Amino acid sequence: MSHHSRFSPRSVLFGGDYSPEQWPESVWREDVILMREAGINIVTLGVFSWGLLEVDDDRWDWDWFDRIIDLLSNEGISIDLATPTASPPIWLHREHPEILPVDRRGIRYHQGGRLQWCPSHPVWHRYARRIAERLGERYGAHPSVTMWHVSNELGGGNRRCYCAASTSAFRVWLENRYEHIDAVNSAWGTAFWGHRYRRFDDVTAPLDSESAQNPSLLLDFDRFSSDALLGQFRLERDALRDAGVTTPITTNLMVSPSGSVADYSSWTEDLDVVAIDHYTIAEDPRRERELAFVASRTRGLDPSRPWLVMEHSTSAVNWQRRNAPKSPGEMIRNSLQHIAHGSDGALFFQWRASASGAEQFHSAMVPHAGSDSRQWREVVELGRRLAQLDELTGSLGERSEVAILVDDISLWAWQAGQKPLHDHPIHEDARHWFDVLSARGFGPDVVPPSSDLAGRSLIVVPSLYLVTDAAAAAIEAAVRGGSTVVIGPLSGIVDADSRIRVGGYPGAFRDMLGVVGEELVPLLDGEQLLLSSGAQMADISARLRTTTADVVEVHRGGDLDGLPAITRRTVGAGAAWHISGLVGAGFDDLVDRITSDAGLARRLPSSDDIEAVRRVSADGSWLFLINHGTADAVVPADGTDLISGECADGQFALPAGDVAVIRERVEKRATRPV
């Protein structure tokens, strides 16, 4: 792990992206006055400043940057200093258009956006390293620069590049992974359509070839693209270290339920702090649950340390179909949700709303209306609340007995090539489980398949299409050791090379489950299958027969009438359940049956509208209670609310839309290990 300097803020971090270059210096002075009023203690500086620092090739203007750093420093505001490689200057694109990425059609993009570079191009590497080195040399020892931030949302606009440099780098990546071209042919099954390669130089980036392409090739190109972006992070991080930077270095990951641009589970060893950007979706009526899912997934990347939300929004964004503002109080709840799940701060994009440019309608801490506004008053109120929470910095999210396994590589494999079901958002299956388990007080962790499964009472494997042999073995070992596992539909279908595990579905788990799936059965629009309990399946099921499993539910009616739909098998000291299709009506009852079978007990006072999350440390535990509903509630709790100072003696009155952070009584937390 990188960890040159431990991320350990003494206060909950509060601030946001600051772009003083967009404003005259008279506004800078107003900014710091407002920052003091709100209790801001950190700003991210320099994200899009390259063209204003290096005004032409190796011609530099540091004066304005020195002045703003001095101004912030004099006010006691620390700085998360970004390398500005998210936005190459116009002069660089003019002189080196070859660094611009190429799309799948082979068309090179033009200047005018951001993240407009190929992560495999050597010319780009030279300029990116230089700007990072110069910043590190000038500000690496500055006492107010407490953290460094490499680029911005790596891969957000350039996840894949298909240029000649990318093809060359892809060939090297393949040779390192497979060593011999025959291993590539075997892994990809290139006998199909006769696409056998004679040597690595035959392989190209998968440019558009009109017809369907080899899914194993597409998956490996996704893996390569993730590694190329990680290589870009390492290049800039190492340049900073070589220049003498000793403070923590990170970048803002883009963790999402719908799939991330990179396999972040392979990035965490390189990050001094796991940091993310997150924006709620206005059209999602339960967007607070999506936030909780993403925050839980972020915590699951490395449960051994706190993380940081680097960007979220005070209100509306500017890139959704309809950019509705957040409701009164929603921004405060969002911020405290992230902290509840393990973030040691709440940072925003951005400090002051832009008057010009592509993001001029994106909300900010200081809106266009200025400080006489609801948004600003909520920012000040959030700062007041965060100042009460400093004692919990460094604490961790409490480990759950329940784990939901998610994996972006598996999602990429499902998205690569033609599949039986193309219009089902497979990523939503994990969130469906998360929402129901959370509302029942089980507080599930969302973790990658490579995580430690020891001590988990329930392991849910929802639609994990690609499963490695190692992950399948670890899941079976956990079951034999006493865990209950649920294998959902479309799980275990292909191996690490995206090759079908032949012999019957779900291949990786077939023997453990004691079932054989003869064929997948996608359903037509509006079609549903009835189960013996009255529950219903939609979208997909499977023609299933048992070998050693017990049948829990069968299909009623239609071509699958009387065939198994849900099964259970005792395996060692544990139990393995299989759900052959996507359950709609009746899903909640099914979850109740499974959690009861696993012997799970509620550990958090959650409900449909009350979100309860616990952070723990060797010194104490803190129970976050968040009322997302429109009615006041009384919630079980023992301790003192850090925000209001009110005591909870068995119960706590939580108004609609409000948040409490209960420092729990010692006797309540004594048996709760970190």
- For 298-309, write each residue's pLDDT tens digit: 999 999 999 999
Q: Which two tokens stand for residue 121?
A: 């191009």
Active centre residues (catalytic): 153, 311
Nearest Cα neighbor of 362 from 2, 615, 12, 22 is 22
How, if at all, do strands 582-583 and 536-538 pair?
antiparallel
Cα(399)–Cα(203) distance, integer angstroms = 45
Confidence class for position 409, pLDDT limits 50, 70, 90: very high
How, if at all, do strands 659-664 and 638-641 pair?
antiparallel
- For 341-380, write each residue's pLDDT tens digit: 999 999 999 999 999 999 999 999 999 999 999 999 999 9
* pLDDT for 668: 54
* pLDDT for 221: 98
The 3 state secondary structure assigned to 359-424 is: CCCCCCCECCCCCCCHHHHHHHHHHHHHCCCHHHCCCEECCCCEEEECCHHHHHHHHCCCCCCCCC
- For 214-248, write each residue's pLDDT tens digit: 999 999 999 999 999 999 999 999 999 999 999 99
Task: Give percent of the chain with pLDDT exceeding 90.
Answer: 95
- For 568-626, write each residue's pLDDT tens digit: 999 999 999 999 999 999 999 999 999 999 999 999 999 999 999 999 999 999 999 99
Cα(42)–Cα(616) distance, integer angstroms = 25
* pLDDT for 666: 77
For residue 671, pLDDT beyond 80: no
Cα(503)–Cα(510) distance, integer angstroms = 9
Number of other residues whose CB lies within 10 A of the CB of residue 522: 16
150: left (phi over 0), alpha (psi -120 to 50) or beta: beta
* pLDDT for 3: 46
The mean predicted confidence, pLDDT, of the chain is: 96
Q: How many CA atoms lie within 13 A of 49 on its CB side?
A: 25
DSSP letter string over 243-279?
TT--S-EE-EE---TT--SS-GGGTGGG-SS-EEE--
355-388 burial, b at 16+ Cβ within 10 Å, e below that, comes to eeeebeebbbbbbeeebeeebbebbeebbebbee
Lowest mean pLDDT among 324-333, 351-360, 658-667: 658-667
For residue 8, pLDDT beyond 90: no
3-state SS class at 298: helix
Q: Which two tokens stand for residue 243?
A: 């220049």
Question: Region 539-551: what's the mean pLDDT?
Answer: 97
- For 342-352, write each residue's pLDDT tens digit: 999 999 999 99
Question: Region 460-482: what's the mean pLDDT?
Answer: 98
How, if at all, do strands 620-627 and 659-664 pair?
antiparallel
- Residue carrying structure tokens 């772009």: 19
Question: Region 521-539: what's the mean pLDDT?
Answer: 95
Cα(400)–Cα(331) distance, integer angstroms = 27
Do 635 and 656 touch, CB atoms closer than 8 A?
no
For residue 674, pLDDT beyond 60: no
- For 251-309, write each residue's pLDDT tens digit: 999 999 898 999 999 999 999 999 999 999 999 999 999 999 999 999 999 999 999 99
